[in-house]
Structure 1
Amino acid sequence: MALDIRLKKVNKIYREGDVVSGLVIIQTKGELQHQGVSLVMEGIVSLQLSSKSVGLFEAFYNSLKPINLLNYNVEVAKPGKFPSGKTEIPFELPLRPKAGKSLYETYHGVFVSIQYCIRVEIKRSLLNKDLQKQCEFIVENKDQEEKCKLKPVNFTIAPDTLTNVKDKQHIPRFKVKGRLDSSCLQITKPLTGELMVEYCDAPIKSIEIQLVRVETCGCAEGFAKDATEIQNIQIGDGDVCRGMMIPIYMIFPRLFTCPSLSTNNFKIDFEINIVLVFHDDHLVTENFPLKLTRF
């Protein structure tokens, strides 16, 4: 026997106020006795602490309970029998949050995860195992308060601009100049810009652009903030030519990024690092905060 959920929208992308509709498909080789079929649609924010933060604040554990954004539980078939062959059960559910809640965009993170799913369960007699199937769908929002305004960023990376360096005497002489076309970006459009190595005494091994998620969990008593890498793109390989412009181009991956978000219990921010790796594997990094929007 096979159990499946087929949504009407092929791309599975919905917005608040939409109707999530589809079919529960049951395929059997013979008659199937059952005790009812239930369908659950839910949206949950899952929070967890990194290993370095566990035990620091007892108050965290109360604020790290899953946050339920929406929950529907309906019976789509009463107890009975499914005939041999294919049975299709249609369903329609409105995509609306619970009272006092908001629907955040789908996001798959490390310490924060926002997921929406439909789960179907066929209940069977005591001697038979219940059958379950789950299907995730994507929620996007376009009702943000302000539109994204271009904020160009010009930067210079040199030994004098570096922070968190104790001994700058052992850093080779170098200077990298460039610009990001904007630090406020539409999530559907790429991060663009350019950079140029004006001079560098040491041979260069690689120039990379690293996209980082910064997830903050906690409450008024304290917050745990953790930065983790999403993706790393090499834009220069080897000892690149001096004085030549190198383009910066990065597309934001779906699901692993979302519009920048701040709530009482968690925050999701994004940054990029421009990383210059020297031939001896020493590296210097310059960090730039980003604001992502759906507009």
Structure 2
Amino acid sequence: MSFIFKSPLDIELRLDGEDSRETVEQKGIKGRKEKLPLYKDGETVKGQVTIRTRDNKRVEHTGIKIQLLGTIETNNDGLVTDNFLSMAHELASPGELRHPETFPFEFRNVEKQYESYRGINVRLRYYLKVTVSRKSADVIREKELWVYQYQDPQSADSESVVPTSSVKMDVGIEDCLHIEFEYSKNKYSLKDVIVGRIYFLLVRLKIKHMELSLIRRESCGAPPNQLNESETVVKFEIMDGAPVRGETIPIRLFLGGFDLTPTYRDVNKKFSTRTFLSLVLIDEDARRYFKQSEIILYREKNE
């Protein structure tokens, strides 16, 4: 025989201005899409918690509190959760609940130093957690927030420096193939456009077609147990048929239509995400020739 615990309380957590606040649509753990309220670094988080008893029964408790938590969940060797933000307010001292009660809360000017992220083996999340402590089972209600971090082009990933105004990527096989892919820069906002050209300097292979891809690489944990996962965000064919020497193909790739994330480097010493531009050529014998080059992505304030 099994027993299903039914909570004696209903907890409603409402944020101030929630109906008019901008939201971000994200895919949940079970694949369902959910809309999460958007916050920025330094913004106050406030609202109300309403607690109702079920069936008008009296419920004793040993205290009610609300927490604002920031956690990084990694799954490279079992699920590990690390808190980088933890704030709490006591809403009520020990007592009993008989009728619906509403408790206001406010976390002022909260530093949110990282951007929210849902990856393959990593989740960085901010959430509110209401706990009604009881001698038996605690009653808990959570509400997730989504946080954006904005940067300007000068500060975006300042460790990565490419001094030239344009970037060149060569694909070459001695005496058989030499292709040069030139694009305008290596730092892009998430709504930017990659503009470039592909030059065929030497073509002695029978090239069947060519693809351009954006690949996101997620690194989780530290060596030797570091877990690296790559996923192709977008892939499209830019040429079908054999090119000739001297031919040029213009490239315009609009980033705004894709599910991209900013470049993260060693976030809280837990994970990194990087984005690569990948050029792939396939010949008539299905052999693949490719070259990858990293691009730095950042979120501008007007995005």
Per the TM superposition, whether the score is higher than 0.5 is yes
Cα distance in structure 1, aligned partners of 2:14 and 2:237 = 41
**Equivalent position of 2:70 in the other structure:** 43
Cα distance in structure 1, aligned partners of 2:91 and 2:15 = 15
Alignment of 1:269-288 (within 5 A): 269-272=273-276, 273-278=278-283, 281-288=286-293
Q: Residues 145 and 211 (structure 1 numbering): CA distance in 2 closer, same or farther, change over 3 Å? A: closer
| Partner amino acid, structure 2, of 1:70 | L
The Cα offsets for residues 163-220 of structure 1, whole Å up to 9 and x where unpaired, read as xxxxxx9xxx55543322221223x33351234473574353551313222425328x
**Equivalent position of 1:152 in the other structure:** 166
SS at match of 1:49: coil
Alignment of 1:241-280 (within 5 A): 243=247, 244-251=249-256, 257-262=261-266, 265-272=269-276, 273-278=278-283
The Cα offsets for residues 56-110 of structure 1, whole Å up to 9 and x where unpaired, read as xxxxxxxx964421112333245432537xx65432113545xxxx822222233
Percent identical across equivalent pairs? 16
Please say if residues 2 and 28 of structure 1, whose CA atoms lie closer than 8 Å, have aligned partners that are also in contact: yes
**Equivalent position of 1:135 in the other structure:** 143
The Cα offsets for residues 31-73 of structure 1, whole Å up to 9 and x where unpaired, read as 253324332211122344379xxxxxxxxxxxx9644211123
Q: Residues 156 and 205 (structure 1 numbering): CA distance in 2 closer, same or farther, change over 3 Å? A: same
SS at match of 2:131: strand
| Count of residue correspondences | 260
Aligned-residue offset at 1:144? 7.6
1:69 equivalenced with 2:96 (yes/no): no
1:19 equivalenced with 2:34 (yes/no): no
Alignment of 1:108-187 (within 5 A): 108-123=118-133, 126=136, 130-142=138-150, 146-148=154-156, 151-160=165-174, 173-186=176-189
Question: Which one of 89, 110, 113 corresponds to residue 103 of structure 1?
Answer: 113
Cα distance in structure 2, aligned partners of 1:88 and 1:280 = 70
Cα distance in structure 1, aligned partners of 2:287 and 2:57 = 65
Cα distance in structure 2, aligned partners of 1:26 and 1:39 = 12
| Partner amino acid, structure 2, of 1:248 | L
Aligned-residue offset at 1:134? 2.0
Cα distance in structure 2, aligned partners of 1:247 and 1:293 = 19
TM-score norm. by structure 2 comes to 0.66
The Cα offsets for residues 211-252 of structure 1, whole Å up to 9 and x where unpaired, read as 222425328xx6736242251321437448764424333348
SS at match of 1:69: strand
**Equivalent position of 1:93 in the other structure:** 107
SS at match of 2:226: strand
Aligned-residue offset at 1:20? 0.7
Question: Which one of 205, 230, 233 corresponds to residue 231 of structure 1?
Answer: 233
Please say if residues 210 and 275 of structure 1, whose CA atoms lie closer than 8 Å, have aligned partners that are also in contact: no
**Equivalent position of 2:99 in the other structure:** 83
TM-score norm. by structure 1 comes to 0.68
Q: Residues 136 and 258 (structure 1 numbering): CA distance in 2 closer, same or farther, change over 3 Å? A: farther
Cα distance in structure 2, aligned partners of 1:29 and 1:240 = 72
| Partner amino acid, structure 2, of 1:41 | L
Please say if residues 14 and 138 of structure 1, whose CA atoms lie closer than 8 Å, have aligned partners that are also in contact: yes
**Equivalent position of 1:213 in the other structure:** 217
Please say if residues 44 and 109 of structure 2, whose CA atoms lie closer than 8 Å, have aligned partners that are also in contact: yes
Q: Residues 181 and 81 (structure 1 numbering): CA distance in 2 closer, same or farther, change over 3 Å? A: same
Structure 1 portions without partners, runs of 5+: 52-63, 161-168
Aligned-residue offset at 1:153? 1.0
Cα distance in structure 2, aligned partners of 1:269 and 1:176 = 28
Cα distance in structure 1, aligned partners of 2:299 and 2:58 = 47
Structure 2 portions without partners, runs of 5+: 1-8, 23-36
Please say if residues 115 and 136 of structure 1, whose CA atoms lie closer than 8 Å, have aligned partners that are also in contact: yes
